[in-house]
């Protein structure tokens, strides 16, 4: 499996957009925290979160390829099949690859929640400091707020084995941990 430094180098080379790089770092942080809580491999889950959008710059105009073209962008054997499947399933609306495992649902929920938490942090005077799950739940009800975030994907945290409140608590803490390097401090 690819190590984190190599994965970060690949992502940094492919993502000239700082926002997309920040999204990958935030997803990595959330996935590592979820793996620890759910008893899975934090390194595997974290690296999968970090690279899940690696092919996005190449596939933005072809949504049906996003998540599938990643295999072409990664070195042979960089990720195990379960990680490649989770990445393809994170975009199942376009790829047709249905999420099945806790890993798949965790990635879908994690990468989606970064958008709403980031948007909420950017409109708060204290950014991530003091953010609570109830404020994110309130923002989730406002369909105009962070309108591109798929709320249904966030709710799939339950299929990964976590209540929404626990998931949001974990996600907020994980993103707070990388806030300074992802523009949310």
Contact, 131 vs 124, CB < 8 A? Answer: yes
- Number of Cβ within 10 Å of residue 101's Cβ equals 15
pLDDT of residue 164: 98
pLDDT of residue 33: 98
Taking only the tens place, the pLDDT of each residue in 81-102 is 999 999 999 999 999 999 999 9
Check whether domain 4-182 has CATH 1.25.40, yes or no: no
Average pLDDT rounded to a whole number, residues 145-151: 96
Mean pLDDT across the chain, nearest whole number?
Answer: 96
Residue whose token pair is 């000239």 = 16
Dist CA 18 CA 25 (whole Å): 11
Secondary structure (DSSP) of 26-58: HHHHHHHHHHHHHTS-HHHHHHHHHHTTTTHHH
- Percentage of the chain surpassing pLDDT 90? 92
**Domain boundaries defined on the chain:** 4-182
- Give the HSE-up count for residue 155: Cα atoms under 13 Å, Cβ half-sphere: 6
Q: Kindly give, in sequence order, each residue whose CB lies less than 8 Å from that of residue 71, ignoring residues fewer than 6 positions away.
A: 84
Taking only the tens place, the pLDDT of each residue in 9-53 is 999 988 678 999 999 999 999 999 999 999 999 999 999 999 999
**Exposure b/e, 22-38, CB count within 10 A at least 16 = b:** bbbbbbbbbbbbbbebb
Grade residue 152 by pLDDT with cuts at 50, 70 and 90: very high
Phi, psi of 7 (to 5 degrees): -65, -45
pLDDT of residue 14: 80
Dist CA 174 CA 54 (whole Å): 21
pLDDT of residue 173: 98
pLDDT of residue 72: 83
pLDDT of residue 88: 96
Dist CA 17 CA 183 (whole Å): 13
Q: Kindly give, in sequence order, each residue whose CB lies less than 8 Å from that of residue 96, ignoring residues fewer than 6 positions away.
A: none
Taking only the tens place, the pLDDT of each residue in 60-89 is 999 999 999 998 888 889 999 999 999 999
H, E, C per residue of 99-143: CCCHHHHHHHHHHHHHHHHHHHHHCCCCCCCCCCHHHHHHHHHCC
């Amino acid at each position: 499996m690819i190590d984190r430094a190599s994965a970060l180098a690949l992502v940094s080379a492919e993502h000239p957009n700082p926002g997309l790089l920040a999204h990958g770092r935030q997803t990595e942080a959330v996935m590592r925290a979820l793996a620890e809580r759910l008893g899975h491999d934090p390194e595997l889950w974290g690296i999968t979160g970090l690279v899940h959008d690696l092919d996005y710059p190449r596939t933005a105009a072809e949504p049906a390829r996003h998540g599938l073209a990643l295999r072409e962008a990664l070195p042979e054997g960089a990720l195990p099949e379960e990680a490649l499947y989770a990445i393809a399933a994170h975009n199942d609306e376009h790829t047709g690859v249905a999420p099945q495992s806790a890993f798949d649902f965790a990635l879908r929920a994690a990468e989606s929640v970064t958008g709403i938490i980031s948007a909420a942090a950017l409109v708060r005077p204290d950014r991530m400091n003091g953010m609570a799950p109830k404020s994110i739940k309130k923002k989730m009800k406002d369909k105009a707020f962070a309108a591109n975030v798929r709320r249904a994907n966030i709710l799939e945290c339950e299929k990964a084995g976590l209540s929404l409140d626990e998931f949001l608590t974990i996600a907020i803490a994980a993103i707070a941990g990388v806030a300074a390097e992802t523009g949310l401090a």
